[in-house]
Chains A and B, each alone.
Chain A
Amino acid sequence: MNHISPVLWQFFVKWLTNFPLFPPEASKLAPEMDALLFFEILVSLIGLTIVLLLVTTFCIMYRKGRHPVAVQIEGSTILEATWTIIPLGLFLLMFVWGSLIYFRVYTPPANAMNIYVVGKQWMWKAEHPGGQHEINSLHIPTGKPIQLTLISQDVFHSFSIPAFRVKREAIPGRYTSVWFEATTPGTYHLFCTQYCGTNHSAMIGDIVVLTPDGYKQWLAESTSGMSLAQNGERLFASLSCNACHNAKPDARGPNLANVYGAKLALASGGTVLADDAYLRESILNPSQHITQGYAPIMPTYQGQVSEEGVIALVEYIKNLSSNYRIEQTLNTTDLLPEGEGKAATGGAEQKAAPAKTAPQGVVKQ
């Protein structure tokens, strides 16, 4: 072989001895997903073997030379019932099993750390709660459930981490979420799997899984000095949101303290849960959702705030737990110590001293 073509030889030796056939399992969920995958493969192999064996056997036994006259058979209710009920049973089993895994992938645990991810042509931008942001990479610690809240600024994208067995579309105009808990430190592929235009195949990145200590260190090194909520606070002041949402008795806009997670009564009747999606909608399409007792005077911020901006605002509102904070925002755009984040958002709250540097990114576990 070697003397025929060295290039070809190289191909055989180098490639055929070293290429992956199965993706690494790097999340808690991966082995569960793979159990179902292996079950499906097993069922398929058995099914395929049965069909091929039957076809081959019949072809040998009943080929014309050996079996010159066919015996006409109408059918067989018992046989047909068998091959209706057995596949049906197996398929239903896979349905139940698959649905359970689906619910698990898309139902984040309450203590998950939330990271926002914005997809845009053609990059992924991740925003950590501590204000660290990164492009086409995502640093996460092992052993901690991470929830991603995804949105797209333009077209459909899809955030796929094969090593974790998770994938979720990033859709324009709505938040979607997915969660995972990484188990093995390392660098894994991040792909955009929904076709998104010219550089679709370049919309890739690295998922860097660090040990908890390594992650702390990374957070400290990558901090921009302000947390996401602090960014939101700045934006809140600079867009003059506080002109109306100022928590005063005569304010023209509703008080936003503790609004996150509350059930709000709407002017149109009915109530709505103030979650991320609702807050986002209320900023971009305020006239659609008038809170009871207020006039529809809020202008739309569509086109004035980027998705990252909206995320910062949402994060700020999420963390607003007292009127005091809003009053402070009203008085000054100086960055004051950030209040304790909500337990629900968990994660990397910052100890926060205004605009100082080093120890700021430290995670309080």
Chain B
Amino acid sequence: MSDTIVSLPDQSTARIPKVNFITKENGLLSWLLTGDHKRIAILYMISITFFFFIGGAMAGLIRLELLTPQSDLMATDTYNKVFTMHGIIMIFFFLVPSVPATLGNFLIPLMIGAKDLALPKINLLSWYLYVAGGILAIYTMATGGVDTGWTFTVPLSTHYVNTNVLTTGLAVFIAGFSSIFTGLNFIVTIHKMRCPGMTWFRMPLFCWAHYAASILMVLGTPVLAITIVLVALERTIHIGVFDPATGGDPILFQHLFWFYSHPAVYIMILPGFGVISETISTFSRKRVFGYTAVAFSSVAIAVFGFFVWAHHMFIMGISNYSMLVFSLLTMLVAVPSAIKIFNWTFTLFKGSITFETPMLYTFGFIGLFTIGGLTGVFLGAAGTDIHLTETYFIVAHFHFVMVGGMLMAFLAGIHFWWPKMTGRMYPEKISQLAAVVTFIGFNLTFFPQFILGTLGMPRRYGAYPPEFQVLNVFSTAGATILGVGYLLPILYLTWSLKYGEIAGNNPWQATGLEWQIQSPPLTENFAVTPIMDHEAYDYEWLENQKEKEVASVG
């Protein structure tokens, strides 16, 4: 008798709960007019996946063009449009909303024990703005595209190109508001909606990371919006802010643009940090090493992140004093990232480690982000920046951080919370394979680019000297493998929606509040408002809970 009581109910007889946020209401309208953060997260997930594949197709075209030294696949103008749209779509329509708008949207209320985000209608509005911006971006592409580069550098964008600068700018402007609303919602929610007992230092680190990123979104994005408006005014009525011929200064644009666009990389990466903290803790069955240090390093990154923008301008003729200040602050902002890496590593120490897919992606993240971060220091040191900036070294550096870091974290998170979102498991073996394929493909694609950059190959070149071809061939070959690595999850995750194993409430035996409720959750998340009576990542508490449950079943 006693043995049968201790083992948990058999998974094969498990059912997905009849009432959950997916089945609660039916019909397209119930989705399009929903206020439920979980449904909005799903809407976001579908839309950003769509944009990811458009941006990915562009990346494929770029790599194909670079297979040969000549500019032979596309006309140079087409190539310029393709890399511009690749950048714009991937940054504004994929990376910025990726983790926050999908996983963050879905999980923050669940993690802090709230029924929804503080402003559900604003949340829905943010998705509509995102979609409006996205449709405008697609329209722009279909009607001739834009070839300014995602950086919209003036005076090229204001006086010299003849393409759809205004509509693209408008698309980014609108998408920017979607990001502001998401950030605002998170800040208010985390401040006001935590359940009883959920103090700041009991929150999962995922929430800390999102809080830091939200501050950046709310304070940084309006500057981008203003900059885009100024570009539009300069282009249409020549107000003379940026054009030296009318008394403006093109360097001013660089300051304004990077004042947003540098913090933007932290907007993109911080939520990824949040995911990694969750997965690494869960799969090593251990509290994150130095919880407070990791929490505060997120905040430190957010604060310092605002004061390093001019490191994008070292070779543009900023003053020596500016260079000193910005180079120093850049070095300082690298430290919290190093702290995080070591804290995650030491989370493994004396843990009990398993190697499910999210953990494999997490290891990928740690390796690639370490490389991406360290090569950032090459660029923060003003001397080597002169040689390496504006070359493929930069391209490799930010792809290691954004794709190697953020996208790995995103995939880790998607796999980790997939059972919570859908109630079903993804197939383990093939997804482990996908994680490994992605890692190999990624390194083959982007590592040669560090060498290319050191050799001096400039970025945004459709044609290049023939001696660079071998490394470019490696890179293109890697991109092909990487493409497979990204296609696989789409296929098997879709498959798992119908055929995946039933997950149950807590397949990973994780400690977060989101794992203590049914999968998929109810529309109102918690039947009873939970009370947080333990620290985050408290595995002993979880053990006790289980024993209690077993006892009550018995």
State the A residues within 8 Å of B (CB).
11, 15-16, 19-23, 33, 36-37, 40, 43-44, 47-48, 51-52, 54-55, 58-59, 62-64, 67-76, 79-80, 83-84, 87-88, 91-92, 94-95, 97-106, 121, 154-156, 158, 160, 162-163, 165-169, 171-174, 176, 189, 191-202, 204, 285, 302-303
Asked if A94 and B76 sit within 8 Å, CB to CB, the answer is no
Residue from the list B71, B293, B458 in contact with A191, Cβ < 8 A = B458
Closest to B248 in A: A173
Asked if B455 and A98 sit within 8 Å, CB to CB, the answer is no
Measured in the bound complex, the distance between the Cα atoms of B343 and A63 in whole Å is 18
What are some 20 contacts across the A-B interface (CB < 8 A)?
A11-B473, A15-B473, A21-B455, A43-B377, A44-B371, A44-B377, A47-B370, A47-B374, A59-B363, A64-B352, A67-B351, A76-B289, A98-B381, A121-B160, A154-B160, A155-B153, A162-B456, A191-B461, A197-B80, A198-B147
Known: A19-B470, A83-B338, A171-B316. A33 touches B384 (CB 8 A): yes
Residue from the list B293, B335, B341, B352 in contact with A51, Cβ < 8 A = B341
Asked if B460 and A101 sit within 8 Å, CB to CB, the answer is no
Interface presence of B60 (CB below 8 A): no
| Chain B residues with CB below 8 A from A101, complex form | 382-384, 386
Residue from the list B251, B289, B345 in contact with A73, Cβ < 8 A = B289
Asked if A70 and B80 sit within 8 Å, CB to CB, the answer is no
Asked if B345 and A102 sit within 8 Å, CB to CB, the answer is no
Measured in the bound complex, the distance between the Cα atoms of B454 and A106 in whole Å is 20
Known interface pairs A102-B382, A199-B76; 7 further A-B residue pairs with C-beta atoms within 8 A, sorted by A's residue number:
A48-B367, A71-B286, A75-B289, A91-B335, A95-B381, A171-B317, A192-B458
A-B contact count (CB 8 A): 297
Asked if A62 and B374 sit within 8 Å, CB to CB, the answer is no
Residue from the list B251, B315, B387 in contact with A37, Cβ < 8 A = B387
Measured in the bound complex, the distance between the Cα atoms of B378 and A100 in whole Å is 14
Asked if B80 and A168 sit within 8 Å, CB to CB, the answer is no
Asked if B363 and A55 sit within 8 Å, CB to CB, the answer is yes
Asked if B382 and A98 sit within 8 Å, CB to CB, the answer is yes
8 Å CB interface, B276-313 against A? 284-287, 289-293
Most chain B CB inside 10 Å of its own CB: which residue of A15, A105, A156, A192? A156
Known: A44-B371, A70-B286, A70-B539. A84 touches B335 (CB 8 A): yes
Residue from the list B247, B331, B363 in contact with A95, Cβ < 8 A = B331
| Chain A residues with CB below 8 A from B292, complex form | 75
Binds A, one of B2-10, B100-108, B321-329, B403-411: B321-329
Interface residues on B, range: 35 or more
Asked if A58 and B539 sit within 8 Å, CB to CB, the answer is no
Shortest distance from the beta carbon of B364 to any chain A beta carbon, whole Å: 11
Measured in the bound complex, the distance between the Cα atoms of B469 and A87 in whole Å is 36
| Chain B residues with CB below 8 A from A176, complex form | 316-317
| Chain B residues with CB below 8 A from A21, complex form | 451, 455
Asked if A166 and B286 sit within 8 Å, CB to CB, the answer is no
Q: Which 8 A-B pairs have the closest CB atoms?
A: A162-B456, A173-B244, A101-B383, A98-B381, A75-B290, A102-B382, A193-B390, A58-B348
Measured in the bound complex, the distance between the Cα atoms of B250 and A88 in whole Å is 34
8 Å CB interface, B217-267 against A? 244-245, 247, 249-251
Measured in the bound complex, the distance between the Cα atoms of B251 and A176 in whole Å is 12
| Chain B residues with CB below 8 A from A43, complex form | 374, 377
Residue from the list B380, B384, B458 in contact with A160, Cβ < 8 A = B458
| Chain B residues with CB below 8 A from A62, complex form | 284, 348-353
8 Å CB interface, B472-494 against A? 473
Asked if B339 and A83 sit within 8 Å, CB to CB, the answer is yes
Residue from the list A59, A106, A201 in contact with B348, Cβ < 8 A = A59
Asked if B327 and A98 sit within 8 Å, CB to CB, the answer is yes
Asked if A198 and B341 sit within 8 Å, CB to CB, the answer is no
Measured in the bound complex, the distance between the Cα atoms of B366 and A40 in whole Å is 19
Known: A33-B383, A68-B352, A201-B464. A168 touches B315 (CB 8 A): yes
Known: A55-B366, A67-B352, A193-B391. A97 touches B381 (CB 8 A): yes
Shortest distance from the beta carbon of B163 to any chain A beta carbon, whole Å: 10
Shortest distance from the beta carbon of A207 to any chain B beta carbon, whole Å: 11
| Chain A residues with CB below 8 A from B430, complex form | none
Measured in the bound complex, the distance between the Cα atoms of B52 and A337 in whole Å is 67
Asked if B343 and A94 sit within 8 Å, CB to CB, the answer is no
Residue from the list A80, A92, A169, A195 in contact with B331, Cβ < 8 A = A92
Shortest distance from the beta carbon of A309 to any chain B beta carbon, whole Å: 15
Shortest distance from the beta carbon of A251 to any chain B beta carbon, whole Å: 28
Measured in the bound complex, the distance between the Cα atoms of B473 and A163 in whole Å is 23
Asked if A80 and B343 sit within 8 Å, CB to CB, the answer is yes
| Chain A residues with CB below 8 A from B367, complex form | 48, 51-52, 55
Shortest distance from the beta carbon of B254 to any chain A beta carbon, whole Å: 9
Asked if A167 and B390 sit within 8 Å, CB to CB, the answer is yes
Most chain A CB inside 10 Å of its own CB: which residue of B327, B342, B354, B471? B342
Measured in the bound complex, the distance between the Cα atoms of B470 and A16 in whole Å is 7
Asked if A171 and B352 sit within 8 Å, CB to CB, the answer is no
Asked if B382 and A80 sit within 8 Å, CB to CB, the answer is no
Interface presence of B496 (CB below 8 A): no
8 Å CB interface, B36-78 against A? 71, 76-77
Shortest distance from the beta carbon of B517 to any chain A beta carbon, whole Å: 24
| Chain B residues with CB below 8 A from A73, complex form | 286-287, 289, 349-350
Residue from the list A19, A76, A155, A174 in contact with B155, Cβ < 8 A = A155
Residue from the list B156, B334, B345 in contact with A54, Cβ < 8 A = B345
Known: A58-B353, A155-B155, A302-B245. A99 touches B327 (CB 8 A): yes
Measured in the bound complex, the distance between the Cα atoms of B470 and A97 in whole Å is 33
Measured in the bound complex, the distance between the Cα atoms of B334 and A87 in whole Å is 9
Asked if B76 and A198 sit within 8 Å, CB to CB, the answer is yes
Asked if B386 and A166 sit within 8 Å, CB to CB, the answer is yes
Measured in the bound complex, the distance between the Cα atoms of B314 and A168 in whole Å is 9
| Chain B residues with CB below 8 A from A59, complex form | 348, 353, 355, 363
Query: Per-residue 0/1 for B102-132: is the Cβ within 8 Å of any A Cβ (1 yes, 0 no)?
Result: 0000000000000000000000000000000
Shortest distance from the beta carbon of B242 to any chain A beta carbon, whole Å: 10
Measured in the bound complex, the distance between the Cα atoms of B387 and A105 in whole Å is 10
Measured in the bound complex, the distance between the Cα atoms of B442 and A359 in whole Å is 59
Known: A51-B345, A62-B284, A75-B292. A100 touches B156 (CB 8 A): no
Interface presence of B320 (CB below 8 A): yes
Measured in the bound complex, the distance between the Cα atoms of B299 and A33 in whole Å is 34
Asked if B380 and A95 sit within 8 Å, CB to CB, the answer is yes
Asked if B465 and A79 sit within 8 Å, CB to CB, the answer is no
Closest to B245 in A: A302
Asked if B539 and A88 sit within 8 Å, CB to CB, the answer is no
| Chain A residues with CB below 8 A from B244, complex form | 172-174
Closest to B330 in A: A95
Measured in the bound complex, the distance between the Cα atoms of B348 and A296 in whole Å is 74
Shortest distance from the beta carbon of A196 to any chain B beta carbon, whole Å: 6
Asked if A94 and B155 sit within 8 Å, CB to CB, the answer is no
| Chain A residues with CB below 8 A from B378, complex form | 37, 40, 44
Shortest distance from the beta carbon of B75 to any chain A beta carbon, whole Å: 9
Interface presence of B462 (CB below 8 A): yes
| Chain B residues with CB below 8 A from A168, complex form | 315, 317
Measured in the bound complex, the distance between the Cα atoms of B383 and A36 in whole Å is 8
Residue from the list B289, B349, B383, B465 in contact with A99, Cβ < 8 A = B383
Asked if A174 and B317 sit within 8 Å, CB to CB, the answer is yes
| Chain A residues with CB below 8 A from B385, complex form | 98, 102
Measured in the bound complex, the distance between the Cα atoms of B320 and A172 in whole Å is 20
| Chain B residues with CB below 8 A from A33, complex form | 383-384, 386-387
Shortest distance from the beta carbon of B508 to any chain A beta carbon, whole Å: 13
Residue from the list B293, B363, B539 in contact with A75, Cβ < 8 A = B293
| Chain B residues with CB below 8 A from A193, complex form | 389-391, 458-459
| Chain A residues with CB below 8 A from B327, complex form | 95, 98-99, 102
Asked if A173 and B245 sit within 8 Å, CB to CB, the answer is yes
